[in-house]
Structure 1
């Protein structure tokens, strides 16, 4: 299983920086702690059952008491989240929603269940990263932190811009990219996937990769990664799957 993490608290220095920022910026400058794009794999390697399991895992995670504690423990007490599936094209499953407690988290979780699969085909990771960037840049939310949470089981890139080119364009906008590397016995190269994500996809302040297995290990990894992302706690660049 994953190492049990103590409930993270906001570092004192971060509070001081935030207090200074709020005093020196217009009142409307920043209105939430985190803008978070959950960018989930829906390419051909992901079956319909796996796709729905991914959605269910995120639904369980976003409503988990530990994740809700992390949200309410942020400086603003709320975050903004959207859920997107990627393949050759990208599909917004749940538009931007502000989550500030159990009720709004439950609304987000319920919204994951209904929409049909909209993203199909092969891999276009570079395009997916740029699509997520545009969602952040084009919304009417001004978050203190802006993060793309990419998940997948490959670094294949059949269509669109090269991964590294897209990543650098995203990072140039001050957006951090984290990743969930889904390790599967079906793929011969899964043992190096997390490191390849670290080398080619993630970037920005505090960026990290969480390695995840399938089934219960995946669901636990999703929860742990959300806690770390929301809390902004510095971590190792690669967090291994310990479910052995």
Structure 2
């Protein structure tokens, strides 16, 4: 009797352990993430109020696009966060990390971006409006340091001009940096005479496996360019490419 009781107790403990392990595996599976993507938006002095609305509203529209939604929800989830940046001491988090697993989460993220008021001050005083590209990359890397655990990490930096405050770039190990270059605000950048901002981002900013630049022809073209870039970033890789 005692032997059967001990055997029964052992079976009960093993059964409880199997349940705990199964719950742990389910929890671990729920945290799976294929990409941690942080969106960084230039709000320096070269971006006026109208252009700011086009940039943030255009990003929200791109996130709501059916093709982008389908790519985001294809397979293992994507984690998103966003921030704005200007000079080397001027960055602010717009939307903190969320693993996009439901339509409501994506809608809330898009609404947050579209409704975010442009910052006018920080603890050090009024935002000066200069352009600190290297500092913006550092801010993105700090956000990624506390991102959910994902297979890949990427910064998506959008801007319309070259650095003029602090370091003009930053080398980031294990992080892909893509860019959305807005043409039109640099000298000779109109009408394709000289792709100054696109070339600057291509030479000084993008880095990591498969890094690329997408160009918007002015802020009125921002929504289209962001849609193209998001599709390229968040679409799951083809099996043949693995």
> Please, what TM-score do these two structures have when normalized by structure 2?
0.75
Q: Give 1:231's aligned residue.
A: 235
Q: Output the CA distance in 2 between the equivalents of 1:111 and 1:137.
A: 22
Q: Give 2:54's aligned residue.
A: 53
Structure 1 unaligned spans of 5+: 1-26, 235-244
Q: Which has the higher helix share?
A: 2
Deviation, 1:232, is: 5.7
Deviation, 1:96, is: 1.4
1:204 aligns with 2:208: yes
Deviation, 1:157, is: 2.7
| Cα pair distance change 1:51/1:34, threshold 3 Å | same
| Cα pair distance change 1:189/1:176, threshold 3 Å | farther
Q: Give 2:22's aligned residue.
A: none
| Cα pair distance change 1:147/1:232, threshold 3 Å | farther
1:125 aligned to which of 133, 137, 142? 133
Q: Give 2:224's aligned residue.
A: 220
Deviation, 1:82, is: 1.0
Q: Output the CA distance in 1 between the equivalents of 2:97 and 2:32.
A: 14
| Cα pair distance change 1:205/1:152, threshold 3 Å | same
Q: The residue matched to 2:151 in structure 1 has which SS?
A: strand
Deviation, 1:216, is: 4.2
Question: 1:99-125, CA deviations, whole angstroms, 9 ceiling, x for partnerless residues?
Answer: 234322111111123332226320111
Deviation, 1:90, is: 0.4
Structure 2 unaligned spans of 5+: 1-26, 121-126, 190-194
Q: Output the CA distance in 2 between the equivalents of 1:214 and 1:81.
A: 25
Aligned length: 199
Could you tell me whether the CA contact under 8 Å between 1:148 and 1:175 is conserved in 2? yes
Q: Output the CA distance in 2 between the equivalents of 1:176 and 1:58.
A: 20
Deviation, 1:209, is: 0.3
Q: Give 1:114's aligned residue.
A: 115
Q: The residue matched to 1:32 in structure 2 has which SS?
A: coil
1:150 aligned to which of 140, 151, 157? 157
Q: Give 1:241's aligned residue.
A: none
Q: Give 2:180's aligned residue.
A: 180
Q: Give 2:93's aligned residue.
A: 92
Could you tell me whether the CA contact under 8 Å between 1:35 and 1:146 is conserved in 2? yes
Q: The residue matched to 2:181 in structure 1 has which SS?
A: strand
Could you tell me whether the CA contact under 8 Å between 2:59 and 2:222 is conserved in 1? no
Q: Output the CA distance in 2 between the equivalents of 1:188 and 1:226.
A: 28
Deviation, 1:93, is: 1.1
Question: 1:160-183, CA deviations, whole angstroms, 9 ceiling, x for partnerless residues?
Answer: 3x223x1x1x2x2x0100000100
Q: Output the CA distance in 1 between the equivalents of 2:188 and 2:207.
A: 22
RMSD: 2.3
